[in-house]
Amino acid sequence: MNQAKQVPVTLIEGDGIGPEITAALVAVFESLGQPVGWRPASMGAKAFEQSGEALPSETVASLRYTGLAIKGPIQTPLAVGFRSPLVRLRQEFQLFVNLRPNRTLLTGSGRPPLDIVVVRENTEGLYAASEAYIAVGDDPRAVAVATAYNTRAGCERILRFAFEHAVKHGRNKVTVVHKANVLKILSGIFLETARDLYQTHYSGCFELEEMIVDACAMRLAMTPEHFDVIVTTNLFGDILSDLAAGVTGGLGMAPGANIGEGLALFEPVHGSAPDIAGHGVANPSALLLAGAMLLDHIGKASAAARLRAAIVATLNDDRVRTSDLGGTASCAEFTATVRCRLQDDSL
Ligand code: NAI
């Protein structure tokens, strides 16, 4: 493709299996005719080791310039060490949407095919809380506290995104997930805003369903086909979106996007998989599907559809699967088959 037509995209390979699956993404985009121009940047544990910064300022500058990025997983130390660079980015770029489509792509499971979109608020709730210890007697860490907040404006912007998404994609139902029976104020404001917004602007466009988070978790596990679009607050969304990924094919198949005013950042849902890093067996599908979401986002819907179709054909017609899906293919073999499928004009 003419370089002038290539959309500039910041490419962050990340840690663990990140470099292996990013190489797969770059190769597959080459087969798609190179619709984007990659601008490599670093972030995460490797960046921290090399430069002392988990989120180097050059990376932030690149993100500001391109407004578009795709990243591999980032290894974040537990409880101690550097703060999650992704959480920092969500705050700095106000990436208030976490969009997680979960679609069954593997045939032959015997379960009905699923297509569940989880829209999670990304910047408020408990994850925006400041945490502290309170000393009692001799124990300086006797009590751990965190103060969460949800704003009406924050609730409204994520609900509006979810409702618009439902309308644009012809969805029939949006389930608003909350815990307003216990957290009457913190979660109540979300539910109240959903009801108001629906009644004022979206009444009749789709069905609005309300569900308490624990009931939602059970129904997702037992009858996931009940769901269409789910919209919820930060912590509940974090948990439910992984649950939805689990029932539709596992973490190796789940893409996601973090979207704000000036930046859209696409990623696989899974982590850096340190247990298999460097073995060449990682499933690159989640990152490739994140690439398809990126293509949709920049208006290249036919390239996105071709990419998804090539992945589906590789998994089901060619029966080429990595070990997380019960197969024996390496990451490179899977990638080569997807590229081969992309040569197929019937896709
Ligand atoms: P993980 O998702 O890395 O791994 C969980 C299990 O799934 C492992 O057995 C792993 O081998 C397998 N797995 C994950 N992705 C796979 C793939 N593409 N192909 C085949 N198998 C795959 O979760 P874990 O072990 O809890 O976290 C490891 C690190 O990743 C941590 O430092 C964590 O903070 C980070 N992490 C980063 C995320 C991000 O950057 N968005 C998201 C989740 C975790």
User: What is the per-residue DSSP string for 129-156?
Assistant: EEEEEEEETTEEEEEEEEEEE--HHHHH
Residue 95, pLDDT score: 96
Which atom of ligand 1 is found nearest the CA of 250?
A: 7
Is residue 275 annotated as part of the catalytic site, yes or no?
A: no
Of 46, 179, 300, 324, the catalytic one is: 179
> What percent of the chain lies above the pLDDT cut of 70?
97
Helical pair 301-316 and 331-342, crossing angle rounded to 10 deg? 120
Which atom of ligand 1 is found nearest the CA of 268?
A: 41
Q: With 60 as the cut, is the pLDDT of residue 80 above it?
A: no
Distance 172 CA to ligand 1 centre (A): 33
Mean per-residue pLDDT, 63-72: 97
Let me know: does 96 contact 105? Beta carbons within 8 Å. Answer: no
> By alpha-carbon position, which residue is closest to atom 23 of ligand 1?
271
Sorting pLDDT into bands at 50, 70 and 90, what band is 82? low
> By alpha-carbon position, which residue is closest to atom 31 of ligand 1?
75
- State the pTM of this model: 0.92
> By alpha-carbon position, which residue is closest to atom 39 of ligand 1?
73
Task: Give the CA count within 13 Å in the CB-facing half-sphere of 203.
Answer: 4
Residue 83, pLDDT score: 73
> What percent of the chain lies above the pLDDT cut of 90?
85
Q: With 70 as the cut, is the pLDDT of residue 81 above it?
A: no
Task: Give the CA count within 13 Å in the CB-facing half-sphere of 216.
Answer: 26
Distance 273 CA to ligand 1 centre (A): 4
Of 238, 296, 300, 324, the catalytic one is: 238
Residue of 75, 99, 251 to test ligand 1 pocket, by largest number of atoms within 8 Å of CB:
251
Is residue 242 annotated as part of the catalytic site, yes or no?
A: yes
Of 115, 173, 196, 242, the catalytic one is: 242
CA gap 100, 286 in Å, rounded: 11
Q: With 70 as the cut, is the pLDDT of residue 79 above it?
A: no
Distance 17 CA to ligand 1 centre (A): 9
Phi first, then psi: give them for residue 282, nearest 5 degrees. Answer: -65, 145
CA gap 165, 167 in Å, rounded: 5
CA gap 272, 216 in Å, rounded: 28
Phi/psi zone of residue 255: left (φ > 0), alpha (ψ -120 to 50 degrees), beta?
beta
Least confident of 79-83, 102-106, 229-233, 288-292: 79-83
For residue range 22-42, list pLDDT tens digits in order. 999 999 999 999 999 999 999
Phi first, then psi: give them for residue 261, nearest 5 degrees. Answer: -70, -45
CA gap 23, 160 in Å, rounded: 36
Residue 336, pLDDT score: 98
Which atom of ligand 1 is found nearest the CA of 73?
A: 40
Which atom of ligand 1 is found nearest the CA of 284?
A: 18
Which residue in this structure is represented by tokens 């005013």? 261
Residue 78, pLDDT score: 61
Residue whose C-alpha is closest to residue 10's, from 83, 119, 89, 81: 89
Residue 286 is encoded by which pair of tokens?
């989640």
Residue whose C-alpha is closest to residue 184's, from 174, 192, 176: 192
The pocket around ligand 1, CB under 6 angstroms, is made up of: 17, 73-76, 86, 251-252, 267, 270-276, 282-283, 286, 324
**Residue 212 Cα distances to 98, 171, 176, 246, 330, angstroms:** 20, 21, 8, 20, 41
For residue range 252-272, list pLDDT tens digits in order. 899 999 999 899 999 999 999
Residue 41 is encoded by which pair of tokens?
């940047």
> By alpha-carbon position, which residue is closest to atom 10 of ligand 1?
273
Residue of 78, 272, 287 to test ligand 1 pocket, by largest number of atoms within 8 Å of CB:
272
> By alpha-carbon position, which residue is closest to atom 5 of ligand 1?
273
CB burial class (10 A; 0-12, 13-18, 19+) of residue 130? exposed
Is residue 214 annotated as part of the catalytic site, yes or no?
A: yes
> By alpha-carbon position, which residue is closest to atom 11 of ligand 1?
273
Residue 46 is encoded by which pair of tokens?
């490797």
